Amino acid sequence: MGMDFSTLRTLISRYCAGEENCVDTRTVYIAHKEPPPGAEAFIQQRFPDNRIVSSKYTFWNFIPKNMFEQFRRVANFYFLIIFLVQLIIDTPTSPVTSGLPLFFVIIVTAIKQGYEDWLRHKADKAVNQCPVHVVQHGKVIRKQSRKLRVGDVVLVKEDEPFPCDLILLSSSRDDGTCYVTTASLDGESSHKTYHAVQDTKAYKTEEEINCIHATIDCEQPQPDLYKFRGNINIYMGNEPVSRSLASQNLLLRGATLKNTEYIYGVAIYTGMETKMALNYQSKSQKRSAVEKSMNAYLVVYLCILISKAVINTTLKYVWQADPNRDEPWYNEKTETERQRHILIRAFTDFLAFMVLFNYIIPVSMYVTVEMQKFLGSYFIMWDDEMFDEELGERAVVNTSDLNEELGQVEYVFTDKTGTLTENNMEFIECCVDGNVYVPHIICNGQVMPGAAGIDMIDTSPGPEAREHEELFFRALCLCHTVQVKEEETVDGIKHGIHQGKSSSFYISSSPDEVALVEGMKRLGFTYLRLKDGQMEILNREDEIERFELLEVLTFDSVRRRMSVIVRSSTGELYLFCKGADSSIFPRVVSGKVEQVKARVERNAVEGLRTLCVAYRRLSPEQYEQVCHLLTRAKLEFQDQDKLVAEAYDLIERDLVLLGATAVEDRLQEKAADTIESLHKAGMKVWVLTGDKMETAAATCYASKLFRRNTQILELTTKRLEEQSLHDVLFELSRTVLRHYGSMPRDSSGLSSEYTDYGLIIDGATLSAVMRPSQEDSNSGNYKEIFLEICRNCSAVLCCRMAPLQKAQIVKMIKASKEHPITLAIGDGANDVSMILEAHVGIGIMGKEGRQAVRNSDYAIPKFKHLKKMLLVHGHYYYIRISELVQYFFYKNVCFIFPQFLYQFFCGFSQQPLYDTAYLTLYNISFTSLPILLYSLMEQHINMDILKKEPTLYRDIAKNSLLTWPIFIYWTVLGVYDAIVMFFGAYFLFDNTTFTSNGQLMTTNTQMMFGNWTFGTLVFTVLVFTVTFKLALDTHYWTWINHFVIWGSLVFFVVFSLLWGGIIWPFLNYQRMYYVFMQMLSSGPAWLSIILLITAGLLPDVVKKVFWRSLWPSTTERIQNADKLYKGQLSEFTPLAALHPPPKASSHQRGSENQRNAPNPPRNNCCRLCANMLSRNSS
């Protein structure tokens, strides 16, 4: 048959299940052409079209899918069950009382989600119908983007986005390259260079492109934007020519073509299989500490609900055990009911009581919390102080579910480069064989004018060193991926190399490379361009030198170096390599290593970023071996990355050291002030960076992470060479714990009376701590010992960290026994892992792309904005939502407990105390808006004071406002108010003087005041009491507060008058007719309402007054002082006088200590403030 068994197996597997489901590769036929006879059999595979679907629902599945998702929430499902119970059995309340609030929540949520999904449908339609140009049979035709198929050859013109993932076949440029920006993928606005397939780059027209006969074997779609492997087989004769494909050949959907007239590419991944679509996956759901507390409280209240239902059911049957109390005379049981089994009757009654008391579970709390979080997040986005004029960016909220978590942070994990520093690199100096070169100051051993007073080491190079000097400069001009742009402006921003001239400028994905190339220009060697595979540089003599670029060994974070292989105009072959000192020095066989190493260490201590440069001459034979090694590695499909890394390792050996460079990355504005404020707020700050220890430590000192009195503890590879890990850990543990146990710590953490410790650990040592050797019996405790050391250090620096190690550290702290709230902040793709791992992830809008911003919960322009986000916004959010949660449970206890008490007076007959309208509207209308507005606008302390006094953050630490004692206090307060309302109304109601005209009440007139009047009286006291309670807790009053709080009470009164003043035709009962008006017509009713409200609020007011007077917190002291100064306290400094005084053995000794202690100088306003405060508190 002419077909072997392997081909048959391939046919069967592809036909039966689709190749993508069976193997790890796919075959793409360019322009859908069959391979020539004798080659692999042609199988037209099934791939998805190019339709992008970001929407969640369709027209047909919206209702069932949305309902399923909403009823997955426990509260919604619970109320659905209650509603169904009300429909099935005879319950004391109408199904409307549960159904209306539930369906209101469901419908509002469905409308919101439906509208958001409609917007996604609209955006998808615009993208999918966008026209694209496709080459078919030698002609260019237009079709809609959604109709593209894998294998189509696409024409893309300048400034157009790529419609799918393409392999670059050719471009308008002679060298087959094109420039691309990937801002929509990773935020990097720099121009990246991509390369066409070597054998197809000469095809420039549609007719030529149509002649290409080739297939592509590549991996199945993967979400990694920076990895791709494959081969292209080009059929030019009898034998196909095979070329390797890598990420530099792959143009991604979402990227945009720049500075290139046009390109031709073949579609290999379309639609939802493109790398951009595969990165749509949502992040894992994070839950805040407040949400966990809410769920715990709901469980408690559910237990209370069940207990109430069980107690009432039991007491009902105990009460009815007497035949005379079986049922009231007007409600005798039917014979059918009498013959039902007692367990069935008991279960039915239990469900009825559950329905009667179910309002203790506040379904509306979920809606209010969602609205509070959603609306409250706009305060961050609208904050003008968090707007950066340089970037033109505001803070961004990617998720509003964690707003209150910003007020609970205990650990801050921050990146260094681009986060603490500007990531704006400036070339400072370079060192060649021990000779220092500083642009415009020292060049070629000559001190330039204006260099007086600058401390530097330099000796003039001799004739032998001149060759190394020029090789060094040429190496930095050639070993990079910098592009040269000729235009004067890009995106409206002017870039010019020559001052005052419209000239070319450098762009690169790495700011370090641009700084080095610009530094070489200032030292006399100018990189001009890469043209037709030739790199051109202008030397000091204004002569153009050309080097043929043969190979680029790209940089990666594992090797920490990059190399190029070039051929000079004289035919000499060079390998130039630059990278971190730790990756270059072990590969060097000659050169002045000690002199260069000394300079590198000195620059690192000063906080400069250093790179080492080396080279190697290659013979033609060695170059042939290199080419063979690289080609074989790139063509190997399995484990290609590993084989290429091994090839690079073999090539980058036996190097000659040339020198080193120093680049400065300056500290961001107010970074030191921000870190100091975080320390005062009680947060521990860790810096996680990939930089070397000396550079990172210098940055930590500059940013005040380490202070002058900080004793540095080292847990590094260098120390482990002298001692075992076991000995080092136990020695550090003893040192820290000895001082920690004997020295009291100052509240601000800045006292000089005790030893302040800072820990430095590197990545290799961390790996040893996290994965200790199996043969060491004591190794199991290493992680716990390390954690104990870290907990007692004020700051920790982790250097030489890989991205995965950053996430491991965050995870380790999260899992420690205290379970602290963590925050991770960074600006680069290497920070994404720790941002996703931390409780709160914050991205910096920096220069390393926008991956961190896209994957974060919040994004801010600069590190300094973190201070206000935590100390002000986080503080406010937590105060507001904690009050919201406690208040909701409190007002529902006040609402339902009288209903529970009422059952003891109605024979446990499940008679409701309140009217159906009151049951339905209590949480929806009468009490919802005041607490929502409070949770959006409350400011218990002035914003300026919160920024000036970071220690106030400690008052709300560790979820202090949602602890069990406070929860129990609110619950007991609710029970007390309910008892006051019920029994107060009961005893006043039973008084014979309680009449409408002041005369004695008779039996006949007493009938006018029945159970609905009694329930309305209790409900009226209830609404006014819980609303006044919120008003007493409000510190920040605006006209909106007044309007909503008093307006809600007016609405209740007006509604009650209308509800009881009109005979509503759609009701089958008129039990509330004239009840409210007749109640208010009685003078004693007015008096009882006032007395009961006062009695309900009095204990809470008295408790607050005594508590503030005897044991005031720092927050309460500042609130009192701020009231004395009418909101102007923030103008008086310092605020330290308002902190609680230090504890002493007696009052007298404390007074002596205060008199003898050296007080900081105060102005008159501060003394006056402290004196008035002391008089007020006494």
Return the DSSP state at 42.
P
What the block records as the tokens of 424 is: 């704006």
Alpha helix ranges (H) inside 271-419 = 275-278, 289-319, 335-339, 342-357, 363-381
Catalytic residue among 415, 458, 857, 977: 415
> Which of 884, 876, 878 lies closest to 362, judged by CA?
884
CA distance 274 to 121: 19
**Residues whose CB is less than 8 angstroms from the CB of residue 156 and which lie 6 or more positions away in sequence, other chains included:** 133, 162, 163, 166, 251, 257, 262, 263, 265
Contact 800, 716 (CB under 8 A): no
* 1006 backbone dihedrals φ, ψ, rounded to 5°: -65, -25
Q: What is the 3-class SS of 403-470, one letter each residue?
A: HHHHHCCCEEEECCCCCCEEEEEEEEEEEECCEEEECCCEECCEECCCCCCCCCCCCCCCHHHHHHHH
**Residues whose CB is less than 8 angstroms from the CB of residue 364 and which lie 6 or more positions away in sequence, other chains included:** 101, 105, 888, 923, 924, 928
Biggest CA pair distance of the chain: 125
DSSP calls for 994-1038 = --SSSSPP-HHHHTTS-HHHHHHHHHHHHHHHHHHHHHHH-----
SS3 140: strand
Give the angle 103-305-908 at the CA atoms, nearest 5°: 100
- Residue 749's CB is within 10 A of a number of other CB atoms, namely 17
SS3 191: strand
**Residues whose CB is less than 8 angstroms from the CB of residue 580 and which lie 6 or more positions away in sequence, other chains included:** 560, 561, 610, 611, 612, 692
Cα 473 to chain centroid, rounded: 43
- Residue 857 annotated as catalytic: no
**Residues whose CB is less than 8 angstroms from the CB of residue 6 and which lie 6 or more positions away in sequence, other chains included:** none
CA distance 701 to 607: 9
* 392 backbone dihedrals φ, ψ, rounded to 5°: 70, 30
**Residues whose CB is less than 8 angstroms from the CB of residue 343 and which lie 6 or more positions away in sequence, other chains included:** none
SS3 305: helix
- Residue 7's CB is within 10 A of a number of other CB atoms, namely 14
Q: How many residues does the chain have?
A: 1178
- Residue 771's CB is within 10 A of a number of other CB atoms, namely 12
User: Where in the sequence numbering do the catalytic residues fall?
Assistant: 415
